[in-house]
Amino acid sequence: MAQRLVGLPAPDFTMETALGNGKEFGKVSLSDYRGKWLVLFFYPADFTFVCPTEIIALSDSIEEFKDLDAEVLGVSTDSVHSHRAWINTPREQNGLGGINYPLASDFLKKVSRDYGVLDEKAGVAFRGLFIIDPEGILRYQVVTDMNIGRSVDETLRVLQALQSGGLCAANWRPGDKHLEAF
């Protein structure tokens, strides 16, 4: 199950992607994000019910992530062809209708396994969210049940707290003071 990765170099990866425009395929590696923050998230499967709510919410907030010098990458164990079909399915038909970042295919389940989110019995990833700093060090990880969607606002808050460089209390927001160490 999930292992502690925080504070360690993020597990390396190279995956095929379906670009958010629904037309093109690509390839992505962890090294492509060097020098930027990466919000890497895993979700169980395409054409499901909770997954599109988070994928669309993250897509709708992409400018906020870009303003924080962060990129977003979604990953599931589905194929790039499934990703592209889902991206091209209209939102009113439980599709994504185009998104502002790529979806990567972990078809061989190696990356999900390396990040400790693979449900071996079901062959799909739990909902895992990882924030990787510009040097490739994993700074935040959270893994949740497949039925619980994640909060984009909380992801942005955590990213801002990590970037602030100080001790951040519970519910810290940008502009709040850092805690003083004794």
Encode the chain (182 residues) as per-residue pLDDT tens digits: 457 789 899 999 999 999 999 999 999 999 999 999 999 999 999 999 898 999 999 999 999 999 999 999 999 999 999 999 999 999 999 999 999 999 999 999 999 999 999 999 999 999 999 999 999 999 999 999 888 899 999 999 999 999 998 888 898 898 888 888 87
Q: What is the largest CA-CA distance in the chain?
A: 55
- The residues carrying an active-site annotation are 51
Q: Which has the closest alpha carbon to 140: 119, 124, 118, 156?
A: 156
| Contact predicate 16/145, CB 8 Å | no
Specify the pTM.
0.94
Instruction: Give the architecture (CATH level 2) of 14-150.
Output: 3-Layer(aba) Sandwich (3.40)
Lookup: tokens for 94? 């439980």
| Contact predicate 98/84, CB 8 Å | no
Q: Provide the pLDDT for residue 180.
A: 87
Q: Provide the pLDDT for residue 2.
A: 54
Q: Provide the pLDDT for residue 95.
A: 94
| Contact predicate 30/10, CB 8 Å | yes
| Contact predicate 116/1, CB 8 Å | yes
